[in-house]
Every structure is written in structure tokens, then in C-alpha cells.
Structure 1
Amino acid sequence: MTQQQQVSSGSDSDPRYARFGERKRKRMISNRESARRSRMRKQQQLDDLIGQGSQLQDENNLITQRINDATQMYLGVASDNNVLRAQLAELTDRLRSLNSVLQIVQEVSGLVVDIPELPDTLLEPWKLPCPIQSIAASADMFQY
């Protein structure tokens, strides 16, 4: 049996404690064993905290990646939205021009032509003079 095993087993034959009284010797051995267990608990707690830190860092990296992906999607949608706004402005101008031509035709020919009124598309985009069309959407359209 090694000396360390004697200490941890609480052996009374440990020469380091031979000069002390029986109670004091047992108390010292018990205190050393308690200190050893305490150090082990602290080491285990430290290992657990290091593991938690690593797990939290991994989660943080995953969330950061998801934010980056969402930002890229947002930039893509914003770009598409800008293109659609430009197309809307162009088509609105074309429609105004066509309405002007219809008004001229109406004045010159005397024919009654139904000319729809154009809403202010920036203030009331829901009143756009275009046919109602359904928009197909999928469930994964907004997932990232």
C-alpha cells in the first residue's frame, strides 16, 4: 500500500501522524480527506463550467450564423423590393401616358372611353390599378 493510499484510507499507521494524539491524528486525516474531496469537487465544477462555456460558444456561433443568413435574406428581399418599386414607377408612368393618349382619342373622336383614375401609389399602394392576382407562397418561404 502506498503512502497516499494510507492517507486516503485513514490508516492509523501513517508515520506523519504518529506523534499526535489519537483524536488529533484522526481529525487531521479526516481534514486532509475532506480537503481532497473539496479539490475534486472544485475541479469537477471547473470542468463543468468549461464545458458549458464551450456549449454556449457553439450556440452563440450558430445564432450568429443564423443572424448573418437572415441579414443576407433581408438584403436580397430589400434589393428585390427596390427593383419592384422601380418597375412600379415605370409601369405607373406608362399607364399615365396611355391614359393621356386615351383622353386625346376621346377628345378627337368623341368616343366615350373609360379612363380609370390613378391613385397615388406611394400613399395608397393597395389601390394600384392592376388586376387582383393570387400570390403563391410556400411554408418554407420565410425560413432561414
Structure 2
Amino acid sequence: MSSKQQPSSSEERTRKRKLSNRESARRSRMKKQQHLDELLAQERQITNENKKLSQTIDDTSQLYGDLASRNNVLRAQVAELTDRLGSLNSVLQIASEVFDIPDSSLEPWLLPCPIPPIPASAHKFNC
């Protein structure tokens, strides 16, 4: 047989090497594509987690702001009520010195009643 009819062993090795290289390149491209797909899926997952965490941070920040504002209002009310109580205690101290009123914190039932009770008759409640 002539060399044109039968490929020589070097030609056969070259053909097999080219075929093997093509298959290897195909596997490499498939592996690279699979890796890219995995990275894209991971990127989507991380992006979603990031959005959820950002929303949680925003919600928590809003809640913190609301609570801080409410806390400031309550602190102002405490300060105002403390001032009022101090003023009332001062007035009570002065009044007790002038009028000899018993200490109301010890026996509040001993304070004189400035308004006499109003008697009610039963016929006022009948329709």
C-alpha cells in the first residue's frame, strides 16, 4: 500500500494529538463555563443577602431614630415633671410653715378638705 492510501504513523499521531487537543479544549471551555455559572449564582446570592442586610440596617436605623426621639420626649417630660414637683414641694413647704399644715407625705388623710362635700338628693337622678 502506498502512503497516500494509508496514513503514516506520524500522520496518525498528529491526527490523534489534534483530536485529543480539541477534546481537552472542549472540556476546558465547559469547565470554565461551569465555573463562571457558579460564580454568577454566588454573586446573585450575595447580592440578595446584601439587599436583605441593607434593608435590615435601614429598618433598625429607623427604629433606633424613633426610639431615640421618643426617649428624648420622655426625658423632657421627666425634667418638666421633676421641676413641677420641686415647685409644688416648695409651695407646700411654705404653706405648711405659714398655715401649720401637717406633712402630707406622711399622713395625706389629715389634710383639711377645702371643698365641703355636695349633698345630692335622690330625686335629681330619677328621670
Q: Spell out the pairing of 1:71-82 with structure 2 (5 A cutoff).
A: 71-82=61-72
Q: 1:114 & 1:85 partners in 2: Cα distance?
A: 27
**In the alignment, structure 1 residue 49 sits paired with structure 2 residue 39:** yes
1:7-63 CA-to-partner distances (Å, cap 9, x unmatched) read xxxxxxxxxxx6852223212211110111001100110011011111111110110
Q: TM-score of the superposition, structure 2-length normalised?
A: 0.70
Structure 1 counterpart of 2:79, one-letter code: A
Structure 2 counterpart of 1:27, one-letter code: R
* 1:66 aligned to which of 51, 56, 61: 56
Where does the alignment leave 5 or more consecutive residues of structure 1 unmatched? 1-17, 116-144
Equivalent in the alignment of 1:40: 30
**In the alignment, structure 1 residue 100 sits paired with structure 2 residue 114:** no
Which portions of structure 1, spanning 4 or more consecutive aligned residues, are displaced by more than 6 angstroms?
A: none
SS for the counterpart of 1:21 is: helix
> Aligned residues: percent identity?
58
Equivalent in the alignment of 1:119: none
Question: Per-residue deviation at 1:112?
Answer: 4.5
Where does the alignment leave 5 or more consecutive residues of structure 2 unmatched? 1-6, 106-127
Q: Spell out the pairing of 1:121-140 with structure 2 (5 A cutoff).
A: none
Structure number with greater CO (CA < 8 Å, separation at least 6) is: 1
Query: Which protein shows a greater Rg?
Result: 2
How many residues in Structure 1 have an aligned counterpart in Structure 2? Answer: 99
Equivalent in the alignment of 2:20: 30
Greater CA drift, 102-111 or 62-71: 102-111
Greater CA drift, 21-30 or 69-78: 21-30
Equivalent in the alignment of 2:73: 83
Question: Per-residue deviation at 1:83?
Answer: 0.8
Cα root mean square deviation, aligned: 2.0
